Amino acid sequence: MKHRIVLALVVVVLVTFSILFRASAIPSIPAVASETSSTSLRALAQKRGINIGAAVDFAPLQNDPDYRAVLTREFDIMVPENAWKFEYVHPTRGHYDFTQVDALMAFAKANNLKMRGHPLAWHHLIPPWVTKGNFTRDEWIAILREHIETLVGRYRGQVYIWDVVNEAINRDGSLRDTIWLRNIGPEYIDLAYRWTHEADPQALLFYCDYATEELGQKSDAVYDLVRGMLQRGVPLNGVGFQAHLGLSYAPKLKSLAKNFKRFGELGLEVQFTELDVKVQDGVGSWDSRLVEQGKVYAGLLKTCLEAQTCTAFTTWGFTDRYTWIGDLTGLGEAPLIFDKSYRPKPAYDAIKDVLQTE
């Protein structure tokens, strides 16, 4: 009898320890004290009928209270910068790691932020079990389908937009030679959208790419791609313009407006989805470059508002303290609208001025 009691106590202790261990392994994001402001970008954008968003880096969101405070005060869309990418969320076959995404989803709900899912089919950050695998075409189809259905199905009804296929077009207008194109064929694009829609019919589905702001070879190819998809009855709601820009290559606004117009005439929304404007390639003093940066942001937002079918303005990050460009180049690119100390830059003020001007 004593042995049974001891054994039972051991089991209870082990189960309790296991529960506590699993709970501690799940990352948590501290709550943000509710703060509202009628002059925040979030409030002003809502009055103009658009959403304003930012990509979110998990580590500072978890560890930096200023990061959380600015995000929730100024933006109403959040995009996980990496947490949903194949390599991070599906690192080995048959195993998914949703710990970060679940924490991000909980934070978004608690702070009334819309969640954008990004991306489902992309050529970067694919784990070795996929890239080095020796699969038949049917197996490649099954891998992509299972990945999409698992991610989208898990968050069915909770994600407002999915970036389904990302960067499938080269600068010359040809289809990018991705692992999905090589092993499935061009139809992987249509299939990805159909699977996503089946897994969550409520979510809006977007195609996103870079260097497509102006009329030209690549944007023409994107236009032809999405027009063909619509003609084939593929579920598609919009096109995202990533717009990773610099002072020396900001788009001509008249060309951008014409581009927005033709996508709108297809019945599609257009959005800026990964916007940033680096200043390292500019001329003049640092202060003058920041002013010019503000003018670029303002011009893009004004063109978006005038387009009517432009429904969101999302930057890839929001503070120069955490930016992918700085990590990539090692230079002080300062591409975003808050500086490293979370002080608003001229770009922030320029965006606010546009939103306040009817």
Q: Tokens 């949903």: give the residue.
A: 84
Q: Determine the average pLDDT of the residues in 84-95.
A: 96
Catalytic residue among 167, 213, 292, 333: 167
Q: Give pLDDT, residue 12.
A: 36
Count Cβ atoms within 10 A of the Cβ of residue 114 and give its class: 0-12 exposed, 13-18 middle, 19 or more buried.
middle
Q: Tell me, yes or no, if 274 is annotated catalytic.
A: yes
Question: What pLDDT is stored for residue 7 in this prediction?
Answer: 42
The single residue listed with the structure tokens 């970060």 is 100
Q: Which residues of 43-72 are buried (b: 16+ CB within 10 A; e: fewer)?
A: bbbeebebbbbbbbbbebbbebeebbebbb
Q: Give pLDDT, residue 37.
A: 83
Q: Which of 74, 81, 274, 333 is catalytic?
A: 274
pTM score above 0.85: yes
**pLDDT at 76 > cutoff 90:** yes
Task: State residue 16's pLDDT score.
Answer: 35
pLDDT of 138 above 90: yes
- The residues, ordered by sequence, that sit 6+ positions from 250 with a Cβ below 8 Å of its Cβ are 277, 296, 299
Report phi then psi at 134, rounded to 5: -115, 95
C-alpha–C-alpha distance, residues 156 and 243, integer Å = 29
Average pLDDT in the chain: 91
Q: How many whole angstroms separate alpha carbon 97 and alpha carbon 87?
A: 10
Q: Which fold has domain 41-356?
A: TIM Barrel (3.20.20)
| pLDDT at position 28 | 77
Q: What pLDDT, on a 0 to 100 scale, did the predictor assign at position 329?
A: 67
pLDDT at 103 over 70: yes
pLDDT at 285 (0 to 100): 95
**At 333, is the pLDDT very low, low, confident or very high (cuts 50, 70, 90)?**
confident
How do residues 233-280 score in pLDDT, each as one tens digit?
A: 999 999 999 999 999 999 999 999 999 999 999 999 999 999 999 999
To the nearest 10°, report the CA torsion of 285, 335, 297, 265: 140
* Rounded average pLDDT over 21-40: 66
- Structure tokens of 273? 């989805």
**pLDDT band at residue 328 using 50, 70 and 90 as cut-offs:** low
Domain assignments of the chain as residue spans, ordered by start: 41-356
For residue 172, pLDDT over 80 is answered with yes
Of all residues in the chain, what percent carry a pLDDT higher than 90? Answer: 85
| pLDDT confidence of residue 3 | 46
pLDDT recorded at residue 32? 77
Q: Is 330 exposed, middle or buried (0-12, 13-18, 19+ CB in 10 A)?
A: exposed
Q: Which pLDDT does position 80 carry in this prediction?
A: 97
Query: What average pLDDT does the segment 323-342 reach?
Result: 84
Instruction: Report the sign of the C-alpha dihedral through residues 39, 42, 46, 50, in that order.
Output: positive
